[in-house]
Structure 1
Amino acid sequence: MKKDEQNDKKGISRRDMLAGLASLPVLGALGYGLFLHASERNKYKSGLLKGIKPVLPSGIPPLVDGPVLRLGVVGTGGRGMYIMKALGFVLPERIDEWKSRAATDKYWRDYLDEFMAQEQLNVRVTGVCDVFGKHAAEGMAAGSNLYRNGQSGEMADVPRRYLTYQELCASPDVDAVIVATPDHLHVPVALEAARNGKHVYCEKPLSWTVEETFEARKVVKDTGIVFQLGHQGRQTESYQVAKSLIEQDVIGKISLIEVCTNRNDPNGAWVYDIDPEANENSIDWKQFIGPAPWHDFSLERFFRWRCWWDYSTGLSGDLFTHEYDALNQILGLGIPHSAMASGGIYFYKDGRTVPDVLNMAFEYPERDLTLLYSATLSSEKNRGKSIMAHDAWMELDETLTVYLDRSSTRYKDQIEKGLLEPNKPIFSYVPGQDKIDAITTPTEKYFAGRGLLYTYRDGKAVDTTHLHLREWLNCIRLNNGTQPSCDIDQAFEEAITAHMGTISYHEKRRTFWDAVNERII
Structure 2
Amino acid sequence: MAEDVNKTPAQEQQPDKGRRDALKTLATVPVLGALAYGVYQKRKDALRGRNISDVFQVSGDNASYLEPVKDGKQIRLGMIGFGIRGKDLMRAAGFAEPSWIDKVIEFHKQNKKDTNYEQYMLQDDLNVVVNGVCDIFDKYAEAAQLAASNINREGSNGKFGGAVPKRYRTYQELLAADDIDAVIIATPDHWHSTMAIEAARAGKHVYVEKPLSWTVPETYMVRQAVKESGIVFQLGHQGRQTDCYQKAEEIIGKGLLGKVNLIEVCTNRNSPNGAWVYDIIEGASPDTIDWKQFEGNPDRVKEYMDYMTKNGLERYIGPEERDKFSLERFFRWRCWWDYSTGLSGDLLTHEYDAVNQIMHVGIPHSATSSGGVYFFKDGRTVPDVLQTVFEWPDKDLSMLYSATLASARGRGKVFMGHDASMEVSNMLAITVDPDSTRYADKISQGIIPTDTPFYTYVPGQNSTDSVTSPTELYFAKRGLLYTYVNGRRYDTSHLHIREWLECIRQGKTPSCNIDRAFEEAMTAHMGTRAYLEGRTMYWDKDKEEIVRGEKA
Give TM-score scaled by structure 2 length.
Answer: 0.86
Give yes or no for contact 2:370–2:388 (8 Å, CA) kept in 1: yes
Q: CA deviation at 1:417?
A: 2.2
For 2:140, give the aligned amino acid. Answer: H
Matches within 5 A, 1:220-235: 220-235=226-241
Q: Is 1:384 equivalent to 2:420 in the alignment?
A: no
Residue equivalent to 1:10: none
Which of 337, 351, 369 is equivalent to 2:397?
369
For 2:215, give the aligned amino acid. Answer: T
Q: Which moved more, 1:198-207 or 1:98-107?
A: 98-107
Q: Is 1:147 equivalent to 2:152 in the alignment?
A: yes
**In 2, distance between residues paired with 1:450 and 1:280?**
38
**In 2, distance between residues paired with 1:50 and 1:299?**
56
**In 2, distance between residues paired with 1:52 and 1:44?**
16
Which digits, 9 at most, give the CA deviation of each residue in 1:352-407, with x for residues without a partner? 00000000000000000101000000001110111001001011111110001011
Which of 247, 253, 260 is equivalent to 1:247?
253
Question: Alignment length, in residue pairs?
Answer: 496
Residue equivalent to 1:9: none
Residue equivalent to 1:128: 133
Matches within 5 A, 1:94-243: 94-108=100-114, 110-154=115-159, 155-243=161-249
Give yes or no for contact 1:28–1:432 (8 Å, CA) kept in 2: no
Identity of aligned residues (%): 54
Residue equivalent to 1:512: 538
Residue equivalent to 2:512: 486
Query: Which secondary structure state, in structure 1, belongs to the residue aligned with residue 140 of structure 2?
Result: helix
Which of 405, 414, 428 is equivalent to 2:456?
428
Give yes or no for contact 1:197–1:223 (8 Å, CA) kept in 2: yes
Q: Which moved more, 1:150-159 or 1:253-262?
A: 150-159
Matches within 5 A, 1:262-277: 262-277=268-283
Q: 1:37 to 1:133 in 2, by over 3 A?
A: closer
Give yes or no for contact 1:262–1:378 (8 Å, CA) kept in 2: yes
For 2:525, give the aligned amino acid. Answer: H
Query: Which secondary structure state, in structure 2, belongs to the residue aligned with residue 379 of structure 1?
Result: coil
Q: CA deviation at 1:425?
A: 1.5
**In 2, distance between residues paired with 1:241 and 1:278?**
45
Residue equivalent to 1:3: none
Query: Which secondary structure state, in structure 1, belongs to the residue aligned with residue 263 of structure 2?
Result: strand
Runs of 5+ consecutive residues of structure 2 not aligned to the other structure: 1-12, 24-36, 302-318, 548-552
Which of 460, 463, 467 is equivalent to 1:438?
467
Q: Which moved more, 1:28-37 or 1:212-221?
A: 28-37
Query: Which secondary structure state, in structure 2, belongs to the residue aligned with residue 358 of structure 1?
Result: strand
Q: Which moved more, 1:288-297 or 1:234-243?
A: 288-297
Residue equivalent to 2:16: 23
Matches within 5 A, 1:269-288: 269-288=275-294
Give yes or no for contact 1:256–1:388 (8 Å, CA) kept in 2: yes
Query: Which secondary structure state, in structure 2, belongs to the residue aligned with residue 131 of structure 1?
Result: coil
**In 2, distance between residues paired with 1:61 and 1:432?**
19
Residue equivalent to 2:382: 354
Q: 1:300 to 1:422 in 2, by over 3 A?
A: same
For 1:84, give the aligned amino acid. Answer: M
Residue equivalent to 1:411: 439
**In 2, distance between residues paired with 1:36 and 1:495?**
40
Q: 1:324 to 1:50 in 2, by over 3 A?
A: closer
Q: 1:255 to 1:37 in 2, by over 3 A?
A: closer
Matches within 5 A, 1:439-458: 439=468, 441-458=469-486
Query: Which secondary structure state, in structure 1, belongs to the residue aligned with residue 377 of structure 2?
Result: coil
Q: CA deviation at 1:159?
A: 0.8
**In 2, distance between residues paired with 1:500 and 1:181?**
23
Which of 67, 70, 76 is equivalent to 2:76?
70
Give yes or no for contact 1:186–1:203 (8 Å, CA) kept in 2: yes
Q: Which moved more, 1:88-97 or 1:194-203?
A: 88-97
Q: CA deviation at 1:101?
A: 3.8
Give TM-score scaled by structure 1 length.
Answer: 0.91
Q: Is 1:89 equivalent to 2:95 in the alignment?
A: yes
Q: CA deviation at 1:290?
A: 1.4
Residue equivalent to 1:4: none
Residue equivalent to 1:318: 346
Q: CA deviation at 1:57?
A: 1.1
Q: CA deviation at 1:468?
A: 0.3
Residue equivalent to 1:295: 323
Q: 1:310 to 1:90 in 2, by over 3 A?
A: same
Q: Which moved more, 1:377-386 or 1:293-302?
A: 293-302
When the two chains are superposed, the root-mean-square deviation of aligned CA atoms in Å is 2.3
**In 2, distance between residues paired with 1:271 and 1:25?**
46
Residue equivalent to 2:550: none
Residue equivalent to 2:27: none
Query: Which secondary structure state, in structure 2, belongs to the residue aligned with residue 107 of structure 1?
Result: coil
Which digits, 9 at most, give the CA deviation of each residue in 1:156-178, with x for residues without a partner? 10011000000001111111000
Q: CA deviation at 1:182?
A: 0.3
